[in-house]
Structure 1
Amino acid sequence: MDCTVEHYTAGMLLSGVGDALGYRNQLWEYNQSGPAIHQELQELGGLKNISVELPDWPVSDDTVLHLATAEALATGKAGEELLHEVAFRYVEGMKDMEGRKPGPSSILGIAQLHPGTEGGCRVPYNPEATGCGAAMRSMCIGLRYPHPDQLSSLVEVAVETGRMTHPHPTGFLGAVASALFTSYAVQRRPITTWGLGLLEEACPVAKSFVKSAGYAVTETERDWDYFTGKWKWYLDLRGLSLGTGQVTWPDKYGPEERDEAYKSFSLSGDSDSTAVIACCCWGLLYGMDRVPQCNYRNLEYRGQLESVAQKLYVLSHC
């Protein structure tokens, strides 16, 4: 089944739904217990009983900044002009962060941006900027550049926009991953090949681009291997090193077991950021048919998410 404009709309809209659900107005974002969240979800009556709307279910900084990236891409700008547009929209987006809990690297990075001035889209290298703040706002890059022959554009935009706040490779390669995986979803590429594609196709392009761009090359190369090493380990663990065959799962793999698995390969993560990425991919693959209407009918920013999805679809098919 081809990826239609309805799938694009579902991807953007469900990314906001996942964000709002994972955030739960600050109650679930930093809750490190999957079993506790599942228990509370059950007590709420399950997803079919949750009306995702204000005031109880706002979106977090994830959706505000994802929209900023998407709306910049939807202008059709490219190159340096696009980067300044993204930086400008990130600065504007930070004015809408009351109660949305942006992360420290995002706050610091965006405060250092000076869109419209030479060099104003880059920030000093930050060895602490290893979190998911770049990954959570980059899925739309894969919607703008979804085709295999656009890989270099996808990677370059993900790297440069990602390191506006997360110049450490563990941070900005997360942006490459989330952009790449949405492009794979659009391509209908088998999901068992996604991780291998990240390591063998996208990461080498990203490394070459970093060298050619000439910014923080020494620091970036020094810190490069943590991200790629963890991915190699995870693909080995799941039997996906060749991108083929059946995935290897433990016999028992519920919320508690997932928590332990995540701790073995991940930095501390946020429930909303996990959901904003996963739900975008899910929407691109499966659409809205099986999603309860109460989960998105009155979602904050629904109109903007749907509108920008349609613009990105048109641009991706030009």
Structure 2
Amino acid sequence: MEKFQAGMILGAVGDALGYRNGSWEWCLSGPQIQKELSALGGLEALKLDPDNWPWSDGAMMHMITAEALVTDYWCLEDLYRELVQLYVEAMVSLKGRISDPGTVEGCASLKPHNFLLAWHTPFNQRGSGFGAATKAMCVGMRYWQQERLDTLVEVSIETGRMTHNHPLGFLGSLCTALFASYALQGKPVVNWGRDFMKVIPMAADYCRKTIRHMAEYQEHWFYFEAKWQFYLEERGIEEEGKNKPLFPNSYDAEETDKVYKRWSSEGRGGRRGHDAPMIAYDALMAAGSNWGELCKRAMFHGGESSATGLIAGCLYGLLYGLSQVPAGLYQDLDKREKLEELGAKLYQAAAAEKVLRETRAGGASRSCCHRDQHNSECQDT
């Protein structure tokens, strides 16, 4: 349970650090950010509080998604309707704050009063941003077991498509949900990227079954896969057995910015749904359990540092917990108690579901309609 709680907390910490009330999120110079950090006394001197270190809208959307995942829903369609309602309400509460344009536009297309089509948004050419990826780690926490992979694929795609109906957007949400599940399964971090590429065909099969927008998806889908394939080749981990990533000998803040811009599609590292998870993943591989090194690479770079910080911080918490993180970064963090509560509830929901499945497998239960099973599964029992 502690790692679930740490994941929720450190996601918000990473977001707040990379955001710095908007000033660092919009700064394109990693050296400048790290110079300002040094003037503040360095990472260990920081004390994060709601007034001076608020979250961005990305962390708020992650928390809201987690809230829906721990509600008492009977089937996935009910979960989606709950998410639609919460996302629409969130846009009202976030008025006056700078928000991801893709999220705002996507939420405007949601239909909370349409029972059948509430979450069916149109294909959005501008929905390629990072916002779907930054709110999906909790999906991987809720469905982290290997046997729930099909559900993870569906929920992460539908959660992503609600606000970012574009392959660069919702494949990013699949990526971060998968990485969260891999962290909890104990898979070596270096294998995550290769394993992700093996799951993408499952996502394509699911999208074809829903008969929605495949013609519009095709070109962008290829771009997403190609970018990730090139990244894995650059790090030398594209094939089984290659388990030592290759990093440049010199990798200071200036060089990091150059690399991240090259991975991006518009010269702003972490702006899209393909490169925000990529930067967070790269930072995790390079840093290992070193929290300070992770922050330098994922939170204090030029570009969308709140997005990459949110993803990297959450995944770090799921891997390593809080023990190596300075307490000042999370003791007075905004909504810390709420995040701890959500982490505990995600753990309990996943654990309770596992017990129920094992009981059913042993023949001790013939109950129909477990709370988040598909309707077809209910009909089969």
Q: Which moved more, 1:32-41 or 1:92-101?
A: 92-101
Q: Which amino acid aligns with 1:187?
A: Q
Work out whether residues 106 and 127 of structure 2, in 8 Å CA contact, stay in contact via their aligned partners in 1.
no
Matched, 1:85 2:82: yes
* Cα distance in 2 between the residues matched to 1:46 and 1:158: 36
Please, which of 334, 337, 345 is the counterpart of residue 300 of structure 1?
A: 334
Note the alpha carbon deviations across 1:249-294, whole angstroms, 9 max, x for none: 1111121111111111123321100000000010111111111111
For residues 240-251 of structure 1, the aligned pairs below 5 Å read 240-243=237-240, 244-251=242-249
- Contact conserved, 1:19 with 1:272, CA < 8 A, in 2? yes
Q: 1:151 aligns with which of 130, 136, 149?
A: 149
C-alpha distance in structure 2 between counterparts of 1:168 and 1:94, whole Å: 20
How do 1:192-231 residues align onto structure 2 when only pairs under 5 Å count? Answer: 192-200=190-198, 202-231=199-228
Who is 2:4 aligned against?
8
- Which piece of structure 1 moves more, 276-285 or 222-231? 222-231
Tell me, which stretches of 5 or more residues in structure 2 are unaligned? 271-303, 353-381
Code of the residue aligned with 1:212 in structure 2: it is K
Q: Give, in whole Å, the separation in 1 of the partners of 2:220 and 2:50.
A: 41
Q: CA–CA distance in 2 between the matches of 1:150 and 1:89?
A: 24
Q: Does structure 1 retain, via aligned residues, the 8 Å contact 2:136–2:173?
A: yes
Name the residue aligned to 1:137. 135
* 2:104 paired with 1:107: yes
SS at match of 1:232: helix
Whole-Å Cα distance in 1 between the matches of residues 264 and 27 of structure 2? Answer: 15
Cα deviation, residue 222, structure 1: 3.2
Greater Cα radius of gyration, structure 1 or 2: 2
Per-residue CA deviation, residues 220-259 of structure 1 (Å, 9 max, x unaligned), is 1232111110000000000010143211111111211111
Whole-Å separation in 2 of the counterparts to 1:91 and 1:190: 37
Q: Residue 98 of structure 1: CA displacement?
A: 4.5
- Percent identity, please: 42
User: 2:158 — aligned with what?
Assistant: 160
Q: Is the 8 A contact 1:145 1:154 kept in 2?
A: yes
The verdict on how the C-alpha distance between 1:100 and 1:301 changes in structure 2, with shifts beyond 3 A counting, is farther
Q: Which residue among 63, 67, 76 is the counterpart of 2:63?
A: 67
AA in 2 matched with 1:264: R
1:37-62 deviations in whole A, cap 9, x for unaligned?
A: 11111111111111111211101101
- 1:76 touches 1:315 (CA, 8 Å); kept in 2? no
- TM-score w.r.t. the length of structure 2 is 0.80
RMSD: 1.2
**Which of 325, 328, 334 is the matching residue for 1:291?**
325
Q: Aligned partners of 1:120 and 1:279: how far apart in 2? A: 32
Corresponding residue of 2:117:
119
Give SS of 1:25's match: helix
Instruction: Number of aligned residue pairs: give it.
Output: 313
Contact 1:84-1:116 within 8 A present in 2 as well = no
Paired AA for residue 22 in structure 2: Q
2:133·2:173 contact (CA, 8 Å) conserved in 1?
Answer: yes
Structure 1 position 281 matched with structure 2 position 277: no
The AA in structure 1 aligned to 2:332 is N
TM-score for both structures, normalised by structure 1: 0.96
Distance 2:243 2:108 in 1: 46
* Correspondence for 2:167: 169
1:184-199 to 2 correspondence within 5 Å?
Answer: 184-199=182-197
Segments of 5+ residues of structure 1 without an aligned counterpart are none
Deviations 1:180-225 (A, max 9, x none): 001000011001110011111x211110000001111211123211
Counterpart code for 1:258: T
Q: Is the 8 A contact 1:59 1:100 kept in 2?
A: no
Which residue of the partner structure matches residue 128 of structure 1? 126
State the partner residue of 2:23. 27
